[in-house]
């Protein structure tokens, strides 16, 4: 046998709670509370504890506002400092570029003077140097490599001779 409650169709919607008030009942109770004075504020003077708490909160609010103002002033000062420092860095960068350009020009001028002095020295010392016919093949090779800018140690390694021999030959030829 089956249960008869299981066979009845279910109703949709909310279940009745049994203590739901109708709109009329709700309105009647509201009017009773109004008559009794439950919703009417008769005492406008706040309680001392509430008043004290309000005063504390107002003081804290004033202190917080002062702190915010001070922090805003500090931030503005900090931003001014950053702006001034950026301007100073930019100015120093410009000056540094100018100084570097001047130094490069000075260096180029000194290199040119050195090259001219070397050329003059070579012109003077060429008269005292032995001719190519008087040089041995090794001495000529040492001189040519050195004039091409090869280091003395590299010349020695390439020709299989010591650095001292390379220095002696260059000294004797007046190239060093």
Residues in the chain: 176
Angstrom distance (rounded) from CA 148 to CA 175 = 12
Identify the pLDDT of residue 48: 82
Identify the pLDDT of residue 118: 82
124-149: pLDDT as tens digits:
765 556 666 678 889 889 988 999 99
66-76: pLDDT as tens digits:
999 999 999 99
Residue 91 structure tokens: 């100015």
Using the structure block, give the residue that is written with the tokens 């005063």: 55
- Judge whether residue 38 has pLDDT over 60: no
In order of 81, 123, 124, 173, the CA distances from 128 in angstroms are 69, 10, 8, 9
pTM to 2 decimal places: 0.36
Query: Per residue, what are the HEC states of 141-176?
Result: HHHHHHHCCCCHHHHHHHHCCCHHHHHHHHHHHCCC
């Amino acid at each position: 046998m089956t249960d008869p409650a299981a066979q009845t169709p279910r109703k949709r919607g909310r279940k009745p709670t049994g203590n739901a008030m109708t709109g009329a009942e709700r309105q009647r109770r509201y009017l009773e509370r109004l008559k009794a004075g439950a919703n009417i504020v008769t005492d406008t003077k706040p309680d001392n504890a509430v008043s004290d708490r309000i005063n504390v909160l107002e003081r804290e609010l004033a202190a917080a506002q002062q702190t915010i103002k001070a922090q805003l002033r500090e931030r503005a000062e900090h931003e001014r400092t950053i702006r001034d420092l950026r301007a100073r860095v930019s100015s120093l960068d410009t000056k540094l570029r100018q100084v570097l350009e001047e130094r490069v020009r000075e260096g180029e001028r000194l290199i040119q003077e050195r090259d001219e002095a070397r050329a003059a020295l070579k012109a003077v010392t060429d008269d005292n140097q032995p001719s190519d016919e008087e040089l041995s093949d090794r001495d000529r090779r040492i001189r040519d490599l050195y004039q091409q800018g090869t280091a003395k140690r590299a010349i020695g390694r390439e020709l299989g001779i010591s650095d001292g021999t390379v220095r002696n030959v260059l000294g004797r030829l007046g190239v060093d």
